[in-house]
A and B are shown apart, each in its own frame.
Chain A
Amino acid sequence: MLAFTLRRAIQAIGVMIAVGIISFSMFRFAGDPVNQMVGMDTSGAERAAIRKSLGLDDPVIVQFGRYIGNAARFQFGTSYQFRLPVTNLLMERMPATLELAICATIFAMVIGILMGVYSALRRDTWLAHLFQVISLIGISLPTFLIGVLMIYLFSVTLGWLPSFGRGDVVHIGWWTTGLLTLSGLKALIMPSITLGLFQMTLIMRLVRTEMLEVMRTDYIRFARARGLTTRAIHFGHALRNTLIPVITVAGLQFGSVIAFAIITETVFQWPGMGLLFVQAVQNVDIPIMAAYLMMVSLIFVTINLVVDILYTIVDPRLRSTISRAH
């Protein structure tokens, strides 16, 4: 088990180094950073001095090593646009994005699983058919359109919910949260639904298919032959077996939720990392773009690792194959 975790962790580091190469090379393809920093009238000697002081005259491999070394300590240089350390900028924005992504995922999991279980167990009811239609809409409508439609309905027409921003936030150490104020919670509703809708429909369809599959298995038939209550069969036996693929998908999707947050954050002017990234792209602020790339990959890789480990907790068969394989 420990060996398995370690091996996965080493693989994860490998992935991060590969991403590091990509994000490092962004600097080299986006023009000479010195030219972007200095004015038109800077002399050649001064440019050379700056170049030397920034270490840009070192061999590429040395520069890359330094970049990765800094990145490992979460130092990504200074933003061109804000003249502030990129790390500070990202850390400032991260709570907003994570809170949004977590709320969206919880929304997607809870509603998705409930709808999925219902439409598997009561396959022929009108509500189950309605869920199928909703899931089709959720899968095919683009996120920004849903966001804009919701703003139109709930903010402009009905005036129930704020159309942009995070509302009032409370500071807890370096973390800011909107979960503790009424306006913060109200501001969270529409962005979470917008961001989570796609995952919700995905999870719902997955749960439905898996559950129907599991209900046909021999051990469910045998559980019925043992006279277990319908409740125990559906929620004790069938649902647990259904949840394995759901955990994988939901876990892996959490990464894309953070990535998709770019669009949702833009629509709702949500002050998170995604919005920062969009602004950075507009202003060719390479350090922010590179750091954002690294951060998102780090989150992806970490989630993958956690999902792999969670898997073995849910499924005892994997536990023993893993310990046997090592």
Chain B
Amino acid sequence: MIEPVLSVRNLQVEFAGRRGTLRAIDGVSFDIAKGEVLGVVGESGAGKSVTGLSVIGLIDPPGRIAGGEIHLAGLRIDNLPPDEMRRIRGKRIGMIFQDPLTSLNPLYKIGDQLIETIRTHLNLSEAAARRRAIDLLAEVGIPAPEKRIDGYPHEFSGGMRQRVVIALAICAEPELIIADEPTTALDVSVQAQIISLIKRLGRDHGTAVMLVTHDMGVIAETSDRVAVMYAGRVAEIGPVQDVVRNPLHPYAKGLMGAIPTLAGDDKRLVQIPGSMPRLSAIPSGCSFNPRCAFAFDRCRVERPEPLPRGAQSVACHLYDSVPAESAA
């Protein structure tokens, strides 16, 4: 097997608080291959964004990576000294944040921000960096880039600004892009454009993409594989068609059941009872057990480990020793 671009093994992230340490990420593992888009989905607070931030090394104190390993193309990056990690950020890993309106420094022309980033990572002259910046703006679909490069962020619409942010994220040809809810703050009509842009860039450059979102529609449209996160753990991970059509984990089933369709059947959407536990009160055993209709004794005491199930992998006791009919 070819080495994955990103390999996360048993990642643990903790936040030290006044009343003890909270574990926001508890044993998350996944791989992303070259050119692959991995969708990471889950409710707010499931740990999607924290996972993305820990990969790029931007967890702010009091948060810290407490365990596990992160490898970028074979190089272990979770324990690099700050300055070496800084060189990887922006050059080998690009990141796109949720709100394009606030991601750009309002006082600098977008061209200056692009040139600054390009020259930080690539050994180019001012003029060459400017040419590259114009090419990048053209690539992300900004019309008349040679004119717009001298514009200030406030002169761009939200969608255009997100394109500029994407141009900034890819300006040094990174191997991996982490997109943290890149479309949440945008208009629905613009969302589709941004998603297809990210998809196209990933395909054209062979970039691996980690797409964090809570929008299953976006995942279904864009991703090759999807990881469903719940309370800081990966509940299920697998190829996107399999997980969408045939979710295994009861939580994933609930999620898929909660997506409205345009087909027009008037069935009520399935609702998962209860809400995700707070980090300070994660139940023992499987963290989903209090909300799970299929929970049995073992779920309340023993934490389920990921079990391979075809191309999918699911962390649920239903698929372990228990006969198949109770899983149906």
Q: Is the CB of A225 within 8 A of B86?
A: no
Q: A227-B91, A314-B107 are in contact. Are A221 and B120 (CB under 8 A)?
A: no
Q: What residues of chain A lie closer than 8 Å to B120, measured between beta carbons?
A: 226-229, 232
A36: Cβ under 8 A from any B Cβ = no
How far apart are A70's CB and chain B's nearest CB, in angstroms? 45
Q: Is the CB of A222 within 8 A of B106?
A: no
Q: A218-B102, A320-B155 are in contact. Are A226 and B117 (CB under 8 A)?
A: yes
Tell me the number of A-to-B contacts counted with CB atoms below 8 Å: 78
Q: A227-B117, A314-B107, A315-B107 are in contact. Are A221 and B86 (CB under 8 A)?
A: no
Q: Is the CB of A317 within 8 A of B58?
A: no
Interface mask (B197-235 → A, CB under 8 Å = 1, otherwise 0):
000000000000000000000000000000000000000
Q: Is the CB of A219 within 8 A of B121?
A: no
Which applies to chain A's interface (DSSP): helix, strand, loop or mixed? helix
* The residue from A219, A225, A230 contacting B90, defined by CB atoms under 8 A apart: A225
Interface mask (A234-268 → B, CB under 8 Å = 1, otherwise 0):
00110011000000000000000000000000000
Q: Is the CB of A240 within 8 A of B97?
A: no
Interface mask (B77-107 → A, CB under 8 Å = 1, otherwise 0):
0000000001111110011010100111111
Q: Is the CB of B116 within 8 A of A232?
A: yes
A316: Cβ under 8 A from any B Cβ = yes
| Complex Cα spacing A54 to B138, Å | 76
| Complex Cα spacing A21 to B169, Å | 61
Q: What residues of chain A lie closer than 8 Å to B91, measured between beta carbons?
A: 227
Q: What residues of chain A lie closer than 8 Å to B90, measured between beta carbons?
A: 225-228
Q: What residues of chain B lie closer than 8 Å to A320, measured between beta carbons?
A: 152, 154-155
Q: Is the CB of B89 within 8 A of A227?
A: yes
| Total A residues in contact with B, Cβ cutoff 8 Å | 23
Q: Is the CB of A227 within 8 A of B103?
A: no
B168: Cβ under 8 A from any A Cβ = yes
Q: What residues of chain A lie closer than 8 Å to B95, measured between beta carbons?
A: 222, 225-226
How far apart are A211's CB and chain B's nearest CB, in angstroms? 14
| Complex Cα spacing A320 to B152, Å | 10
B56: Cβ under 8 A from any A Cβ = yes
Within 8 A of B (CB), among A203-239: 217-219, 221-230, 232, 236-237
Q: A217-B102, A320-B155 are in contact. Are A224 and B107 (CB under 8 A)?
A: no
Within 8 A of A (CB), among B111-131: 116-117, 120-121
How far apart are A247's CB and chain B's nearest CB, in angstroms? 13
Q: Is the CB of A316 within 8 A of B99?
A: no
User: Apart from A241-B105, A320-B152, A320-B155, what 7 extra A-B contacts exist at CB < 8 Å?
Assistant: A219-B105, A226-B169, A227-B87, A227-B172, A229-B120, A230-B86, A232-B120
Q: Which 6 A-B pairs have the closest CB atoms?
A: A227-B90, A227-B89, A218-B102, A225-B95, A226-B90, A222-B103
* Chain A residues proximal to chain B, CB less than 8 Å: 217-219, 221-230, 232, 236-237, 240-241, 314-317, 320
* Chain B residues proximal to chain A, CB less than 8 Å: 56, 58, 86-91, 94-95, 97, 99, 102-109, 116-117, 120-121, 152, 154-155, 165, 168-169, 172
What are 5 A-B residue pairs whose CB atoms fall within 8 Å in the complex? A226-B89, A226-B90, A226-B117, A227-B89, A320-B155
